A and B are shown apart, each in its own frame.
Chain A
């Protein structure tokens, strides 16, 4: 029986040791040799996220209805923003050509 205890303990010790050693070694190698990780967030570009609508604590039917209406509102906003930006883009281009 004692041998069983010793073997179990040794197996656990080796497993813990290998697991911990792998984690530590890989983390340190990543930090030392693979430099410059960057994944980016949306706050890196422009003003970040603008909230239009948010509501919770609703029943299913009411929530789906309000959600559909919010999506339509978003679609109208998208059309307006893109139209405005494109017309500004065109006028900037014309101005630049005139300058040249």
Chain B
């Protein structure tokens, strides 16, 4: 059965306070360390056991090794499921942002090995988002005065892998005198606690951005940290996450050693990247979810519950964006026309024939045309990044989160 951490003074359910890292009773305003709560619980259990005349404490042990009993809240709109300890209730879904009916059931969940408790308080998370959004020049004014409709803290499931990675690269290079030489480089590494997000409902676009988490602050799992928060459960298997992590480890490793090869201006002849994950642990990592509404559409903003890193993709204020684009274009055009008029006057006042003037003209304008071509090409390639922003905004709009969940659940 799920444990409910009651206040030793007044008996009301307590919640975990990220600021003090203690359990706090909002009713009588008292706080207790995890150790104090466990001791109080042990004393109570001992007293009950004595009153029942039960000699063996293990006879009352109801929890199975490796599982914890949680209350599962299921959103009837998007089908997302979130786990909560006793005491937390919800009338809306944190994923799709809809005030949908939530059904509940009790379920045994796999007990996580590790947890990073919330370090950022709800107030600080809200302040961080406000500061971030207020500084965004292209965010619509309605959002810049950020008023979150809902804020909730969710522990997101992750697999933490220890991965052995190695690579040997053989390359060739020229020394400048047409002599070809060869070189090789062999290196390995043990990556510790490489994160792989384990919830299909939580969007990969956001989870990648929420990183990095500081893994030196990871702690053995304790149910106490869940008080006052929700937690998602993993639905990506260890094997599936392991395959993704191997690819990620190979990429990280290869990026690192390719830097060395590029510094030598060498060509790669052979490479043999290997990655093998040999240990996987299940962990819960903290995230603040905030929903705000713009033109009747909910948008989700996230804050890393440990480091306070803000992650969002906000709609663009089109008037400002087009305004900036038009004014820069007009400014550059006017400046260049002035410059070209001066150059042309110089050319036409030159004491030479028409062929000579034409030669000077092309000598000046061909490099300018080359610069213009490069700028135009890089400008249009920047448009690709605009499409990335658009897809991010679509993800942030919770309606598409809902579609995402629906797709995943078939």
How many residue pairs, one in A and one in B, have C-beta atoms under 8 Å apart? 263
> Number of B residues whose C-beta is below 8 Å from A?
97
Q: Is the CB of B181 within 8 A of A56?
A: yes
Q: Is the CB of A33 within 8 A of B139?
A: yes
Closest to B214 in A: A44
Which of A16, A42, A47, A78 contacts B256, CB < 8 Å? A42
**Is A94's CB within 8 Å of the partner chain B?**
no
Q: What's the minimum C-beta distance from A57 to chain B, rounded to whole angstroms? A: 5
**Is B17's CB within 8 Å of the partner chain A?**
no
Q: Is the CB of A34 within 8 A of B184?
A: no
> What residues of chain B lie closer than 8 Å to A30, measured between beta carbons?
385, 389
Closest to B275 in A: A78
Closest to B277 in A: A82
Q: Is the CB of B329 within 8 A of A26?
A: no
Which of B188, B312, B340 contacts A36, CB < 8 Å? B312
Task: Specify the main secondary structure of chain A where it touches its partner.
Answer: helix
Q: Is the CB of B321 within 8 A of A17?
A: no
**Is B365's CB within 8 Å of the partner chain A?**
yes
Closest to B113 in A: A96
A18 and B379 contact, Cβ closer than 8 Å, known pairs A49-B256, A64-B170, A74-B188: yes
Closest to A42 in B: B252
> What residues of chain B lie closer than 8 Å to A6, measured between beta carbons?
344
> What residues of chain A lie closer than 8 Å to B219, measured between beta carbons?
none
The CA-CA distance from A74 to B257 in the complex, in Å, is 15
Which of B184, B368, B373 contacts A55, CB < 8 Å? B184
Q: Is the CB of B184 within 8 A of A70?
A: yes
**Is B243's CB within 8 Å of the partner chain A?**
no
> What residues of chain B lie closer than 8 Å to A64, measured between beta carbons?
170, 182
Q: Is the CB of A36 within 8 A of B310?
A: yes
Which of A42, A63, A77 contacts B184, CB < 8 Å? A63
**B 306-340 binary contact with A (CB < 8 Å = 1; else 0):** 00011111111000010011101111110011001
Q: Is the CB of B379 within 8 A of A23?
A: yes
> What residues of chain B lie closer than 8 Å to A15, measured between beta carbons?
372-373, 375-376
Q: Is the CB of A12 within 8 A of B185?
A: no
Which residues in window 123-157 of B have CB below 8 A to A? 132, 135-139
**Is B183's CB within 8 Å of the partner chain A?**
yes
Q: Is the CB of A33 within 8 A of B274?
A: no
Q: Is the CB of A77 within 8 A of B166?
A: yes
The CA-CA distance from A42 to B248 in the complex, in Å, is 10
**Is B186's CB within 8 Å of the partner chain A?**
yes
Q: Is the CB of B182 within 8 A of A10?
A: no
> What residues of chain B lie closer than 8 Å to A86, measured between beta carbons?
278-279
| Range class of the A interface residue count | 35 or more
Which residues in window 13-50 of A have CB below 8 A to B? 13-30, 32-38, 40-50
Q: Is the CB of B328 within 8 A of A24?
A: yes
Which residues in window 368-407 of B have CB below 8 A to A? 368-369, 371-380, 382-383, 385-386, 388-389, 392-393
Q: What's the minimum C-beta distance from A53 to chain B, rounded to whole angstroms? A: 5
A19 and B336 contact, Cβ closer than 8 Å, known pairs A33-B315, A45-B192, A54-B186: no
- Taking each of B315, B332, B369, which has the highest tally of chain A beta carbons within 10 Å of its own beta carbon? B332
A63 and B183 contact, Cβ closer than 8 Å, known pairs A22-B380, A26-B382, A78-B166: yes
> What residues of chain A lie closer than 8 Å to B278, measured between beta carbons?
82, 85-86, 89
Closest to B191 in A: A45
**A 55-84 binary contact with B (CB < 8 Å = 1; else 0):** 111111011101100110110011001100
B residues in contact (CB < 8 Å) with A: 65, 132, 135-139, 162, 164-166, 168, 170, 172-173, 180-194, 208-212, 215, 248-249, 252-253, 255-257, 264, 270, 272, 274, 276, 278-279, 309-316, 321, 324-326, 328-333, 336-337, 340-341, 344, 348, 354, 361, 365, 368-369, 371-380, 382-383, 385-386, 388-389, 392-393
5 contacts between A and B (CB under 8 A): A32-B139, A33-B312, A40-B248, A42-B165, A85-B162
Q: A30-B389, A44-B212, A86-B279 are in contact. List 15 more A-B contacts (CB 8 A).
A: A5-B361, A15-B373, A15-B376, A22-B383, A24-B328, A36-B209, A36-B311, A38-B210, A40-B211, A40-B212, A42-B165, A49-B188, A56-B183, A78-B188, A89-B279
